Chains A and B, each alone.
Chain A
Amino acid sequence: MTLVGQAAPLIDWEWIGRNMDQIVERTWEHLGLTAVSVLLGLVISVGLAIIALRWRWTYAPITWVTGLLYTIPSLALFALLVPIVGLNATNAVIALTSYTLLIIIRNLVAGIDGVPASVTEAADGMGYTPQARFWRMEVPLALPAIIAGLRIATVTTVGLVTVTAVLGLGGYGFFILRGLNTFFWTQILVGVVLSVVLATLLDVGFVWLERVLSPWARGRQ
């Protein structure tokens, strides 16, 4: 069996040219799974973070449970969800979303907690209502930390999407898995390289987004 692999060239450019359609299709799948999971993760995290900020004692159990979820290997989590939701995209999105929670919640809470007490006191003293203070002072000031959390969650999710290949999805992971099964190196390399490129592009995108959304923080660190 190994002979098959040794005989084939490392990169078969012709294959890449022939399969552009499929590569584009898998790019959308990879992006879609990532975007849906991170956005869903953000929405749930905002809810949980608001609960944690409002009732402080809930923060420890929230991080404990999301931390436990984070610890379960993805392949195992996909498997555990099969009897409940079946073998489909819902399964992948639930698992991927659950991995983003811990990262985003921690950054949300740390970001809000990091707003200097002098700023909140000044806002109170100027006559801000608690809601106005939260949305117009604390949230904008926590934005760099929140975006940092989204950044880590997104890059991590891009890597994890490759494992959803076992569910028949996978984005670029589809090429990795099929390349492994057929000993076709080009497919493996295409899958790995494109996945890294996608992660890097999204990472850079978030850096840009942070600069645009918080111009005041520029050149401060």
Chain B
Amino acid sequence: MIRLENLRKVFSGSTRPAVTDLTMDIARGECVTLIGPSGCGKTTTLKMINRIIEPTSGQITVDGRNAMAIPVHELRRSIGYVIQQIGLFPHRTIAQNIGTVPSLLGWDDTRIADRVEELVETVGLDHEMLGRYPSELSGGQQQRVGVARALAADPPVLLMDEPFGAVDPIVRNRLQAEFHELQDSLGKTVVFVTHDVDEAIFLGNRMAILEMGGILAQYDAPEKILAEPASMFVERFLGGERGLKRLSLLAVIDAGLERGPFVDVTAGPEEARRVMEANAVDWLGLLDGDRLLGWVDGSRVGSSQLRDLEPRSFLVTLDSRDSLRTALDAVVTSHARVAVVVDDGIYRGMLDLEAIAGEVTE
């Protein structure tokens, strides 16, 4: 979808190139995160794709077309662009901001209005905001408008330059999660610059790590890079906690779940004791068919029916789509040093520290 070939940028007044003969392929529908230390040329690389910065030499191909050969404003109208400072137009309403590119492309008013309505839904904004001006919105809302505006003409390619860098961490996490979902459903080809390693890992199908001077240090799927950093530079850049970062890429369901000391409430005391012994624990999980009821202390399992005991609920339960990093956190904080995996009340299995550690070293 996007091909960069021997791309080089030397800024005037500088002898060292900001980007040095960079060659990269970005496949259709893929989200590539560009990351590296500040001044490594990641933003310069991004801005050369829509020619906000003109390359000194090299080739850029977007959707089969030579980007250098088409008129620059035509190229840009076919590429969505989101920047950290958002750059909403303060003198235009939210609706007018979102409709910018469609109106540049000469769409008629009703088509623009319909598209704006649709996008407001897509990015999770309130309809009543459409008539307001940007200064009346919060930072998080403004950034949603920024994303909606970039998507307006349904461009196949989206360029994003630290789009969530200026909002507070809580809003940032929410926007990241929403964008992740959006990307799953829209399947745009995205180039995403960030300086946040976790963000790059979370959002990228592939990650491109750049060294100073815009030299590609490694370009691969995040789990591959975390597992096998290509150089000392990549290893140092990713920092410690490489194992933990890898865990955030894996879902609970990917790890081997065990059944654990769980029995159906119809089971007799004999069976209950046997299960506890087999698992070497002094507590018992109770199920009603597939449904999780809770747990009881081993000392209370005696002559009476399990059905008559009042089970206590687990403090921490996980969804099978949660990341293993979340699971690790749950295990460490739970009473029993295990995490219980439940999807909509249905018991899926149990995860302990050893199972997670196994994934880290794998």
Contacts and interface: CB of A to CB of B under 8 A. Distances in A.
B189 interface: no
Interface string B135-146: 100000000000
Contact of B104 (A117, A119, A128): A128
Interface string B16-52: 0000000000000000000000000000000000101
B interface residue count range (under 10 / 10 to 19 / 20 to 34 / 35 or more): 20 to 34
B236 interface: no
A121 B159 CA distance: 13
A116 B87 contact: yes
Contact of B73 (A127, A140, A220): A127
B162 to A, nearest CB: 12
Interface in A111-149: 116-129, 132, 137, 140-141, 143
A interface residue count range (under 10 / 10 to 19 / 20 to 34 / 35 or more): 20 to 34
B49 to A, nearest CB: 10
Given A127-B101, A214-B91, A216-B90, A121 B75 contact: no
Contact of B91 (A120, A128, A129, A140): A140
Interface stretch (B76-84, B219-227, B281-289, B294-302): B76-84
Contacts, number: 71
B104 A122 contact: no
Q: Dominant SS at the B interface?
A: mixed
B205 interface: no
Contacts of B79: 125
B91 A141 contact: yes
Contact of B133 (A123, A126, A137, A216): A216
Nearest to A144: B91
A217 interface: yes
A125 B135 contact: no
Given A127-B74, A128-B104, A122 B83 contact: yes
A215 B101 CA distance: 23
Nearest to B104: A127
A121 B76 CA distance: 12
A114 B111 CA distance: 34
B210 interface: no
A125 B133 CA distance: 21
A205 to B, nearest CB: 21
Contact of B87 (A122, A143, A216): A122
Interface string A183-221: 000000000000000000000000000000011110010
A126 B90 contact: no
A132 B79 CA distance: 18
A220 B135 contact: yes
A126 B77 contact: yes
A126 B81 contact: yes
Interface string B99-113: 011001000000000
B90 A141 contact: yes
B50 A125 contact: yes
Given A127-B101, A129-B73, A119 B90 contact: yes
A121 B135 contact: no
A150 B92 CA distance: 24
A121 to B, nearest CB: 6
B76 A126 contact: yes
- The CB with the most chain A CB atoms within 10 A, among B74, B75, B91, B133, is that of B91
A148 to B, nearest CB: 16
Given A121-B52, A125-B50, A126-B104, A216 B83 contact: no
Contacts of A126: 76-77, 81, 100-101, 104, 149
Contact of B76 (A127, A215, A217): A127
Contacts of B81: 122, 125-126
A124 B53 CA distance: 11
B59 interface: no
- The CB with the most chain A CB atoms within 10 A, among B85, B90, B133, B159, is that of B90
A215 B91 CA distance: 8
Contacts of A120: 87
A206 to B, nearest CB: 18
Contacts of A116: 85, 87
B90 to A, nearest CB: 6
B88 interface: yes
B89 interface: yes
A119 B90 CA distance: 8
B86 interface: yes
A143 B90 CA distance: 12
B87 A119 contact: yes
Given A119-B87, A137-B89, A220-B135, A125 B73 contact: no
Interface of B: 50, 52, 72-79, 81, 83, 85-92, 100-101, 104, 133-135, 149, 159
19 contacts: A118-B87, A121-B85, A122-B81, A122-B86, A122-B87, A123-B89, A125-B159, A126-B76, A126-B149, A127-B76, A127-B78, A128-B104, A129-B73, A137-B89, A141-B90, A143-B91, A216-B92, A216-B133, A216-B135
